[in-house]
Amino acid sequence: MKDFFRLVKVEFSRIFSNNVLLAIFIGAPIFYGVLFGYVYQQGKVVNLPIVIVDQDNSPASDKIIDAFSDNEVLLVSDVRFTPGNILAEMPIKQYAAVITLPTHFEADIFQKRHPEIRVDLNMANIVNANTASKAIQSVLMTLNAGIEIEGLKKTGLHPTQATAAYESFKINFNKLYNSSGNYVTFMLPGILAAIMQQIIFLAMALVFSRDYEDDYFGTLIKESKLSLYHIALKSTPFFLMIPIMWTIVSLFIPYFQIEADVFNFPMLILVTLLTLASMFIGMLFSIAIPSQLKATELLMVISTPAFILSGFSWPTLAFPNAISNVAQFIPLTQFLSGFRKIAFYGGDISAIAPEIKILLIIILVSFIAMVLLLQLKINRYSKKLQENLNPELE
């Protein structure tokens, strides 16, 4: 054990001598956590620019323009009487929508001709377009209802009767789990988990491949020829460092006032399994590929699309079956699925049993593959070393 701890100290010195590894492992979670937290801190999209083409220029159209101006999601950046060349303005102005009020709009309303308001949505940005669309519909539906009710009043109906005649039924939306629709609550936890998986991948990709490149691998083989010994040696510093990084990352949740229950035992289990799965996959690549650059490049192939494939921002039900099946064996997919069940739905260990099962399979398969492959490499290296020392045996 004395020799083991001596070698662990050497591992720490090798880790801290690698500026790139330190920048990735320590700097990335903190930098990106702060960056993305402040990007999404506002929580919702506001002041989306719209242009209103008022071809009627009447009190009714003025009322509609005022209603749009009062909506916090929309910003009436221009009101004009003719369309002009809006398409030419789009690259600079990037209006979220163009709303056209037709000529004779007010007169057609009074004469029950049902005039049509045209809304042209800018679909280049789906989030902006959907947000603008909901806000525009809300404004116009409210005004439409008000106009209809006022018309009924003029026929002699009591205001209560007019309202009841227009509304066949009421709708009451009760928002559960992130009731405010806050975007930082929705996005930041998933992004932080994706960052942690990626930095663990990249950090572990260097542990053995670096030893191959500077021939420190040969030095370690002289200490022990058991693959489990080497895996324990390489893992120990990260078993001590990764919990510290998870602690730092978890503090972004209360700092940005995210409504998610993350400080509990089921979440600890989930975080532990994600960590082990990511570590073992990273180490497996590091063992298999004797080049730091190639090992990290190949792991990036897995980690880069991991967030999209996880189903966190786009449902896996919409994926082709082949892609969905592959995505199930990326650790982040199972973690984020379990994360929602625990953090937002208040689930317990039994709720995340399917995710735990797949994460354990990933851990077991990658660990067995890692042990066998490393033992094979140790045996080959030892044989080669023996042959060099005893050339007559060749």
Q: Are strands 97-101 and 118-121 parallel, antiparallel or unpaired?
A: antiparallel
List the strands of the sheet with 118-121, edge to edge. Answer: 74-80, 48-54, 97-101, 118-121
Choose the weakest-confidence range: 119-123, 230-234, 275-279, 310-314: 310-314
Judged against a pLDDT cut of 70, whether residue 165 lies above it is answered with: no
Highest mean pLDDT among 21-35, 67-81, 125-139, 181-195: 67-81
Which of 200, 207, 377, 346 shows the shortest CA–CA distance to 274? 200
Would you place residue 98 in the very low, low, confident or very high pLDDT band (cuts 50, 70, 90)? very high
CB atoms within 10 A of CB 68: 21
Q: What is the DSSP string of 162-219?
A: HHHHH-SS-------SSTT--HHHHHHHHHHHHHHHHHHHHHHHTTTHHHHHHTHHHH
Which helix or strand (DSSP H or E) is residue 379 part of? helix 353-389
Q: What is the mean pLDDT of the chain?
A: 87
Judged against a pLDDT cut of 80, whether residue 169 lies above it is answered with: no
Q: Give CA–CA dist 247/255, Å, rounded.
A: 13
Judged against a pLDDT cut of 70, whether residue 391 lies above it is answered with: no
> Could you name the CATH architecture of 48-166?
3-Layer(aba) Sandwich (3.40)
pLDDT in tens, 374-390: 999 999 888 887 777 66
Output 334 or 23, whichever has higher pLDDT.
334
- Distances from the Cα of 224 to the Cα of 217, 221, 285, 309, 375, angstroms: 11, 5, 21, 40, 11
Judged against a pLDDT cut of 80, whether residue 57 lies above it is answered with: yes
Judged against a pLDDT cut of 70, whether residue 173 lies above it is answered with: no
Q: Give CA–CA dist 18/7, Å, rounded.
A: 17
Which helix or strand (DSSP H or E) is residue 109 part of? helix 105-110
> By the 8 A CB rule, do 296 and 322 touch?
no
Segment 80-90 mean pLDDT: 86
User: How much of the chain exceeds pLDDT 70, in percent?
Assistant: 93
Judged against a pLDDT cut of 80, whether residue 175 lies above it is answered with: no
The owner of tokens 């057609």 is 108
Would you place residue 373 in the very low, low, confident or very high pLDDT band (cuts 50, 70, 90)? very high
pLDDT in tens, 259-268: 889 999 999 9
Q: What is the CA radius of gyration of the chain?
A: 30
Q: Give CA–CA dist 30/192, Å, rounded.
A: 9
Segment 58-66 mean pLDDT: 92
Output 140 or 163, whichever has higher pLDDT.
140
pLDDT at 393: 46
Judged against a pLDDT cut of 70, whether residue 118 lies above it is answered with: yes
Q: Give CA–CA dist 366/280, Å, rounded.
A: 6
pLDDT at 211: 87
User: How much of the chain exceeds pLDDT 90, in percent?
Assistant: 44
Segment 28-46 mean pLDDT: 82
Which helix or strand (DSSP H or E) is residue 10 part of? helix 2-16
Q: How many CA atoms lie within 13 A of 366 on its CB side?
A: 26
Helix (H, G, I), strand (E, B) or coil at 75: strand
Would you place residue 239 in the very low, low, confident or very high pLDDT band (cuts 50, 70, 90)? very high
> By the 8 A CB rule, do 284 and 276 touch?
no
Segment 47-73 mean pLDDT: 92
CA 60 to mean position of chain CA atoms:
44
Which of 162, 164, 140 shows the shortest CA–CA distance to 150? 162
> By the 8 A CB rule, do 47 and 75 touch?
yes
Would you place residue 33 in the very low, low, confident or very high pLDDT band (cuts 50, 70, 90)? confident
pLDDT at 350: 94
Instruction: Give the DSSP letter of residue 316.
Output: G
Instruction: Give the DSSP letter of residue 101.
Output: E
Output 155 or 264, whichever has higher pLDDT.
264
Q: Could you tell me the sign of the dihedral formed by the alpha carbons of 125, 188, 23, 208, in that order?
A: negative
pLDDT at 103: 93
Segment 236-243 mean pLDDT: 94
Q: Could you tell me the sign of the dihedral formed by the alpha carbons of 336, 341, 347, 352, in that order?
A: negative
Q: Give CA–CA dist 274/197, Å, rounded.
A: 8
Output 165 or 185, whichever has higher pLDDT.
185
Burial of 116-141, coded b for 16+ CB within 10 Å and e otherwise, reads: ebeeebbeeeeebbebbeebbeebbe
Judged against a pLDDT cut of 70, whether residue 240 lies above it is answered with: yes
Judged against a pLDDT cut of 50, whether residue 394 lies above it is answered with: no
Provide the whole-model pTM: 0.81
Structural domain boundaries of the chain?
Answer: 2-40+181-393, 48-166
Structure token pair of residue 250 = 């978890």
CB atoms within 10 A of CB 333: 23
